[in-house]
Chains A and B, each alone.
Chain A
Amino acid sequence: DTGVSQDPRHKITKRGQNVTFRCDPISEHNRLYWYRQTLGQGPEFLTYFQNEAQLEKSRLLSDRFSAERPKGSFSTLEIQRTEQGDSAMYLCASSFQRPPETQYFGPGTRLLVL
């Protein structure tokens, strides 16, 4: 399967713990996006990489959140000192920089903070 993969698919943690999610994009895609989706809402943009450079971060991305994309390949999203409000589906998407730039999404990581 050459689609976008995410790991883990589910994560349950206690408030205050740190969690890290991984996204492996489609190999030839140079752009990678992270979104967050809460119940009943559409996905919301969190951050974006072009190759290894993080070029935009949403105001939703508090200082407890950090994302990396070393070497422009896979990406990680870390949440420090998790809060119950962080419970959501975290989605990763990748694309190739050429209009109309279709984004391909992974299956998501569902986080539950107790």
Chain B
Amino acid sequence: DAKTTQPNSMESNEEEPVHLPCNHSTISGTDYIHWYRQLPSQGPEYVIHGLTSNVNNRMASLAIAEDRKSSTLILHRATLRDAAVYYCIPNYGGATNKLIFGTGTLLAVQP
């Protein structure tokens, strides 16, 4: 399984961009990179995924390094509702595709 490294916590001001980094140096060539987030007292929520190219959706952007050993989740304008734990999950757990969560990054957004 690919090992991931994320900062334990980050802080942002409201309406400013946030860049959440993730290192996954042991990722295999076919592993998608998934990001999920978990708001307080809720189940995890899918944010975005990518394989090789940078990706954008309505929630965020995902920038993937050319060697795929790291990625960055970009929230273009943080809101108070973005305060959550963000998980970078670069691998599927074998044939079952189970998600292997680390401890994630706790994002605090200040008004």
Contact = CB atoms under 8 A, between A and B. Distances in A.
Decide if A and B are genuine partners: yes
Interface of A: 4, 31, 33, 35, 40-45, 48, 55-56, 91, 93, 95, 99-108
Nearest to A101: B97
Nearest to B92: A101
A107 B101 CA distance: 17
A107 B87 CA distance: 17
B21 interface: no
Nearest to A33: B98
Contacts of A100: 32, 34, 49, 51
A102 B46 contact: yes
21 contacts: A4-B43, A35-B99, A41-B103, A42-B85, A42-B103, A43-B99, A43-B101, A45-B99, A48-B98, A56-B96, A56-B98, A91-B43, A91-B44, A93-B43, A93-B44, A100-B32, A101-B97, A102-B34, A103-B46, A104-B46, A108-B43
Contacts of A35: 99, 101
Given A43-B44, A99-B32, A31 B97 contact: yes
Interface in B72-90: 85, 87
Most B CB atoms within 10 A — which of A35, A44, A99, A103?
A103
Contact of B96 (A43, A48, A105): A48
Contact of A44 (B42, B46, B101): B101
A5 B104 CA distance: 24
Given A43-B44, A101-B97, 4 more contacts: A42-B87, A42-B103, A48-B96, A91-B44
B11 interface: no
Nearest to B104: A42
Contacts of A102: 34, 46, 49
Contacts of A43: 44, 99, 101
B96 A55 contact: yes
B100 interface: yes
Given A45-B98, A48-B96, A55-B96, A105 B104 contact: no
